[in-house]
Amino acid sequence: MEMEYCPPVAPLSVLYDDAELLVVDKPSGLLSVPGKGKHLSDCLISRVQMVWPHALLVHRLDRDTSGVMVFGLTSHAQRFLSKQFELRAAKKVYIARVWGRLTPKAGRVDLPLIVDWPNRPKQHVDIDKGKPAVTDWRVIRDSETESRVRLMPKTGRSHQLRVHMLALGHPILGDPFYAEGLARNFERLMLHSEELKIKHPDSGKMMRFRKPSPF
């Protein structure tokens, strides 16, 4: 499922930096890391490394997802931060606009996911072979046509939030892979990584990085 790649032209939006870590606001439409082929070489880490050549990848956001993303600036910081994601100690909060009125007002999706091989990079629910995936959600406000929700993933599977919302019957608006009809007809994927809580590699202190949703 190949899609044209037109990365946004925008300066780096730095939320925080020190000797150990860098936190930026990733724009929607920009890959986190290079894809296969020269036409997919422009990505967030390459832009970051133009300013911080020693920056190292810790985690990723989908191309069409915007928001808070952290990089390690030393090998120690990369290992320390990556371990928190691996152990599910990093606390993540996303904001999404989804199709229709989501009821009840809060809940949990616990559905294992696996890659949909014939339709890569799409994922789908597979109870028998999928990897565990858990998402908590809470409605912030709603109308007859859409709901604004806070999503708190407990795992970090590819496309997790997108597939979990689809499984509830409420795809994320503007999703080029999983939304259809009017739900797809938006200028971007309405999914934003609004907040990340993670321990600092040096002090061990829990730090909170936040970028309010642009939509």
Residues annotated as catalytic are: 62
78, 193 Cβ separation under 8 angstroms: no
Strands (E), the chain: 14-17, 21-26, 56-57, 66-72, 91-99, 106-110, 113-115, 123-125, 134-142, 146-153, 191-199, 206-210
Q: How many CB atoms lie within 10 A of CB 135?
A: 23
- Fill in the DSSP letter of residue 29: T
Pick from 140, 146, 150, 136: which is nearest to 94 by CA? 150
Q: How many CB atoms lie within 10 A of CB 197?
A: 15
What is the Cα–Cα distance from 90 to 59, expressed in whole angstroms?
Answer: 11
92, 193 Cβ separation under 8 angstroms: yes
Element (DSSP H or E) covering residue 213: none
What is the Cα–Cα distance from 10 to 6, expressed in whole angstroms?
Answer: 12
